[in-house]
Amino acid sequence: MFARESDIIDQLYEMRDELVPNLAIVEPGLRKAISKVADISSLSEGEAFRNYTKYVLYHGTKFEKTQLVRNVALKLTLHDRKIKIQNERNN
């Protein structure tokens, strides 16, 4: 049973607020990209992050996608074609 990349991207986009819950601790390169989006579009940092995440997941370069994934603060698993957040008790 295989999961399609487009389905995984859609699921990651839906969970975007959970993936990086604290923008203050993201790496400097990602923070700079989010700030740039916020400045250009006059959005709050949170809204800029949501827009930037959508762009990266659907149209970003491999580098941008890697940068985003490096900052995910959760352990994710794939089960029955669905992404699940693995909590501490499920180790």
- The count of domains in the chain is 1
Query: Which DSSP string corresponds to 39-70?
Result: HHHT--HHHHHHHHHHHHHHH--HHHHHHHHH
Side chain identity at residue 88, one-letter code = E
Q: Judge if pTM exceeds 0.75.
A: yes
Q: Compute the distance between CA of residue 15 and CA of residue 50 in angstroms, rounded to an integer.
A: 10
The tens place of each residue's pLDDT in the chain, 91 residues long, gives: 688 989 999 999 999 888 888 888 899 999 999 999 999 999 999 999 999 999 999 999 999 999 998 998 888 999 899 999 887 554 4
Which DSSP state fits 80?
A: T
Q: Compute the distance between CA of residue 57 and CA of residue 48 in angstroms, rounded to an integer.
A: 14
- What is the extent of the structural domain holding 35? 5-18+26-90
